[in-house]
Structures are given as structure tokens and as C-alpha cells.
């Protein structure tokens, strides 16, 4: 899968050249703009706006790692704790060469809104390390993870800040964090979520984000008169979120006609067999080269004539430059910030509905909450219980957001922000 697999070392070492040639988008400006539109729409007091816009704490740490070839490399890591009025800080850790403070800051704020929308008692945080996990060996990734954990562990805690996986990290990385934290603090499984099952992870956590995306897509189809059983779906990104979304959309009866990853995409008009695509991807590390499908590139995938488009890779995939060419009626954001505000404007003018990230991909943190609860209870829930509770939370969140859109004629993104801001603002007023 596209998600970094620390067990598969490659020849190349992390290089800073990649960072230089590909400029990073100003994600914080994007999410701040979205926040302000919603805050103004709901006439949120300016003091509350100031409190909710400002991250509580931002850490920048340097992590020296001895690479396998003997060189010492210095990595830059970040943890931004955005807001904790509703509960402990919560959010993933991203390993990607484009990670910087601006992006982590933006992702941390998104977590605050996500946890509020699905009504789990957490705040929002995010972490990241600028590195290329696909080019690092397992030993290097382990050293990096343990080093990062040591640098930020004074700000973590079961009731303070609880990391989880994100792009480029996985259950193995969470196991190392738990182990490193445990050296100082004793056995503390609730310090991270998204752990391996064997170490206190939750059944259903691996599929949770994709399951949430598929539940929200199903609800949106009902409300916008799309027959999911006849719907053609294209998914950009085939990591944890994209692959699970594809499988679960197929189980709902939708026809997944195209998927892609960093190496390219595949297309088959009659629908791809998702289980076989996943098996191919597990065997070869990419969806590219799947037999019985035409190869396409990522840009072509976005503009295919489908009913539902699910961007599930990185931020900034749909911009003002390609929004005009998008033919899908419904876009469900599996990734964080895949659609820029200018693209939102174009899509809205063209009648395309966009279901925002903070609603669509909140299934991951919802099951993270269930995992944390199970760790505190020291009692494992069944997969059925996890999935039923997830279903309930996602459907309730969809209804709350959709009803605002019906009542106030706001786009779903702004309705979702308003739903979140209402809850976080109320908790802020009660504490102050």
C-alpha cells in the first residue's frame, strides 16, 4: 500500500532536494479562511474567534538519527496542540518530506473541528516529521520515532495529548511510541491510538477512516438523490484511507472505476475488483500494473466522468486550475484539505457538492476514541460494537451538518465548521 511500510527498506536516503523543488501550499491560510467564513456567518464574538484561531502550544524539535550507512542526519519534528477545551489534545503524526510547521498547524486545527463534529471528548493536535519514510529502513524509522517521542513526551499524556497514525505512519510506528513512552512512564497503552491489535489496538481502527468516508458518502448519496448502487466512483490515493474506502464503497454496491497512488492510476469502466486491487497493491507496493485495467495518471483520475470523486491522498489536489474540469457530482474529502477555497468556489458555481474533510474523514479519530476508552476500561469491544458505534456517530454528524445546510443554505463545509465552532465556543465560554 502507499502508506509507508517501515519493513521495506529502499536504497535512497532522505533528501532535502525534493523539498526545494516542490513549494508547499499555505495550508494554514486555507483552513484559517474557512474558519473565518463560518465564524462570521454565525457571528461568533471576536474574542472567541481569537481564542479558537490561536494554537495553544507549538513545539519544534530536532531529532538526530544515525542512518544505516553511518551518517548522522538531523530531522525536524513538530507537534502542534491547537485546542483542548473539550478534552485532551488528539491527532495523528505525519511522516512526509513536505511536512512543515504551517501544515501541521493547519492539520491540528482541523482535528479540533473533527472531534467536535463527531462529538468525542477530545481537542485537536497534530504532529509530523519532515522525512521520506519510503526511503528509510525499519531501523532508521524506529530510531527516528523513538527520538521524536523523547523530544515531545513531556507534552503527551493519556489525559493531555494522544497521538495516532496519519500519512506515512502506521500501527508499527504507534507501537514504538507506546514502548518509548512506557520506558519512562510504565505501561500506558492509552498514550497512542491506532496501535497493533496485540498491543491494545482496537478492532476496526485500521478500516475506520475509510468506513467513515463510505458511511458519509452513502448518506450524501441519499440526500442528493444519487443511487449508490449505480454510482461510479474514482478514488485518488490508495493508502489506508483510499484502499479501505474503495473496499467499503464496493461493498455498498458502488462501482469503483478508478484508483491511483503516487505511481499512477488504473481505470476500468465496468468497475475494478477492489479485493484484487488491494491484493495486487500489497504484493507490488502500488496499484499501477494491475491487470485488466487501463493505466491513467492522477490528473486524469480527477477529471473522469464519475458520480463520486474521493480525493484520499494529500492536501491541495483540487485547485482553481483543475476544478473546472471536474465532472463528478459529489466530492467526498477522504484526505485533509484536498480542495482549496478557490476550487470550492468553482465547484459550487458548477453545482458540485463537496463533503468536507472535517466531517467525511472523522471516522478515524472516532474509533481512536473507542480505542482510548477500551484501553482505559481494560476491556476489548467486539468489531461489531466498534462498527455500530461508528455508524451511529457518523450518521448523527452527517445529519447535524446537513440540517444546517438545509436551514441556513450554507455549503456543507461551512455548516460543518459552524457545527464544530458552536461546540468548541460553548465549552470555551463555560471554562472562561
Give residues in contact with ligand GLU (CB under 6 A). Answer: 90-92, 114, 164, 166, 193, 336, 361, 364-365, 368
Q: How wide is the angle at C-alpha 298 spanned by C-alphas 293 and 303, nearest 5°?
A: 90
For residue 162, give the 3-state DSSP assignment.
strand
Q: How far is the CB of 153 from ligand GLU (least distance, A)?
A: 17
111 alpha-carbon distance from chain centroid: 9
**Residue that has been written with the C-alpha cell 474503495 in this structure:** 246
For residue 383, give the 3-state DSSP assignment.
helix
Q: How far is the CB of 171 from ligand GLU (least distance, A)?
A: 12
Q: Which is nearer to ligand GLU, 14 or 363 (CB)?
A: 363
Q: Which is nearer to ligand GLU, 118 or 308 (CB)?
A: 118
Q: Which is nearer to ligand GLU, 3 or 323 (CB)?
A: 3
183 catalytic, yes or no? Answer: no
Q: How far is the CB of 316 from ligand GLU (least distance, A)?
A: 16
The whole-angstrom separation of Cα 367 and Cα 214 is: 15
Q: Which is nearer to ligand GLU, 312 or 365 (CB)?
A: 365
Note whether 120 and 145 are within 8 A (CB). no
Q: Which is nearer to ligand GLU, 164 or 416 (CB)?
A: 164
Q: Which is nearer to ligand GLU, 14 or 163 (CB)?
A: 163
Q: Which residue is nearest to ligand GLU (CB)?
A: 92
DSSP-derived pairing of the beta strands 57-66 and 72-83: antiparallel
Note whether 114 and 360 are within 8 A (CB). no
Note whether 84 and 58 are within 8 A (CB). no
Q: Name the helix (H) or strand (E) containing 399.
A: helix 383-408
Q: Which is nearer to ligand GLU, 14 or 123 (CB)?
A: 123
DSSP state string for 187-243: --GGG-SS--GGGTPPTTHHHHHHHHHHHHHHHHHHHTT--TTT-EEEEE--SHHHH
Length of the chain measured in residues: 432
The whole-angstrom separation of Cα 317 and Cα 298 is: 9
Q: How wide is the angle at C-alpha 251 spanned by C-alphas 248 and 257, nearest 5°?
A: 80
Write out the three cell numbers for 181.
Answer: 513512552
Q: Which is nearer to ligand GLU, 304 or 339 (CB)?
A: 339
HSE, CB side, 13 Å, CA atoms: give it for residue 314.
Answer: 19
The values of phi and psi at residue 165, to 5°, are -75, 155
Q: Name the helix (H) or strand (E) containing 353.
A: strand 353-355
Radius of gyration (C-alpha) of the chain in whole angstroms: 20
Say which of 98, 126, 232, 423 is annotated catalytic. Answer: 126
Q: How far is the CB of 351 from ligand GLU (least distance, A)?
A: 29
The whole-angstrom separation of Cα 238 and Cα 182 is: 33
Enumerate the active-site residues: 126
Amino acid at each position: 500500500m502507499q502508506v509507508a511500510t517501515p519493513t521495506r527498506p529502499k536504497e535512497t536516503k532522505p533528501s532535502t532536494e525534493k523539498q526545494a523543488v516542490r513549494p508547499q501550499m499555505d495550508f494554514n491560510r486555507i483552513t484559517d479562511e474557512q474558519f473565518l467564513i463560518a465564524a462570521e456567518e454565525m457571528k461568533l464574538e471576536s474574542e472567541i474567534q481569537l481564542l479558537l484561531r490561536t494554537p495553544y502550544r507549538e513545539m519544534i524539535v530536532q531529532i538526530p538519527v544515525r542512518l544505516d550507512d553511518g551518517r548522522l542526519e538531523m530531522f525536524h519534528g513538530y507537534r502542534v496542540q491547537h485546542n483542548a477545551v473539550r478534552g485532551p489534545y488528539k491527532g495523528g503524526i505525519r511522516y512526509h518530506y513536505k511536512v512543515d510547521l504551517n501544515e501541521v498547524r493547519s492539520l491540528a486545527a482541523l482535528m479540533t473541528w473533527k472531534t467536535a463534529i463527531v462529538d468525542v471528548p477530545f481537542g485537536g493536535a497534530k504532529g509530523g516529521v519532515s522525512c521520506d519514510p519510503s526511503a528509510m529502513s525499519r531501523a532508521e524509522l524506529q530510531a527516528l520515532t523513538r527520538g521524536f517521542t523523547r523530544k515531545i513526551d513531556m507534552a503527551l499524556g493519556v489525559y493531555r495529548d494522544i497521538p495516532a497514525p496519519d500519512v506515512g505512519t502506521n500501527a508499527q510506528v504507534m507501537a514504538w511510541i507506546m514502548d518509548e513512552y512506557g520506558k519512562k512512564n510504565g505501561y500506558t497503552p492509552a498514550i497512542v491510538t491506532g496501535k497493533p491489535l496485540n498491543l491494545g489496538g482496537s478492532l476496526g481502527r485500521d478500516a475506520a477512516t475509510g468506513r467513515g468516508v463510505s458511511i458519509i458518502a452513502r448518506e450524501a448519496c441519499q440526500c442528493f438523490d444519487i443511487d449508490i448502487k449505480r454510482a461510479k466512483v474514482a478514488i485518488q490515493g490508495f493508502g489506508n484511507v483510499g484502499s479501505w474506502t474503495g473496499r467499503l464503497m464496493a461493498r455498498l454496491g458502488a462501482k469503483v472505476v478508478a484508483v491511483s497512488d503516487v505511481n499512477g492510476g488504473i481505470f476500468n469502466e465496468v468497475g475494478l475488483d477492489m479485493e484484487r486491487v488491494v491484493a495486487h497493491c500489497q504484493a507490488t507496493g502500488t496499484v499501477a500494473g494491475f491487470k485488466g485495467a487501463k493505466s491513467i495518471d492522477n490528473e486524469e483520475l480527477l477529471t473522469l466522468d464519475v458520480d463520486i470523486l474521493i480525493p484520499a491522498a494529500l492536501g491541495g489536489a483540487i485547485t482553481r486550475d483543475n476544478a473546472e474540469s471536474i465532472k463528478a457530482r459529489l466530492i467526498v474529502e477522504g484526505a485533509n484539505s484536498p480542495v482549496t477555497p478557490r476550487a470550492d468556489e468553482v465547484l459550487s458555481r458548477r453545482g458540485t457538492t463537496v463533503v468536507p474533510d472535517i466531517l467525511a474523514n472523522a471516522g478515524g479519530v472516532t474509533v481512536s476514541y473507542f480505542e482510548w476508552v477500551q484501553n482505559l476500561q481494560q476491556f476489548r469491544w467486539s468489531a461489531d460494537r466498534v462498527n455500530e458505534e461508528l455508524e451511529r456517530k457518523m450518521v448523527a454528524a452527517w445529519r447535524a451538518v446537513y440540517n444546517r445546510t438545509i436551514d441556513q443554505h450554507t455549503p456543507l463545509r461551512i455548516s460543518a465548521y459552524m457545527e464544530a465552532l458552536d461546540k468548541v465556543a460553548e465549552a470555551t465560554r463555560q471554562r472562561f
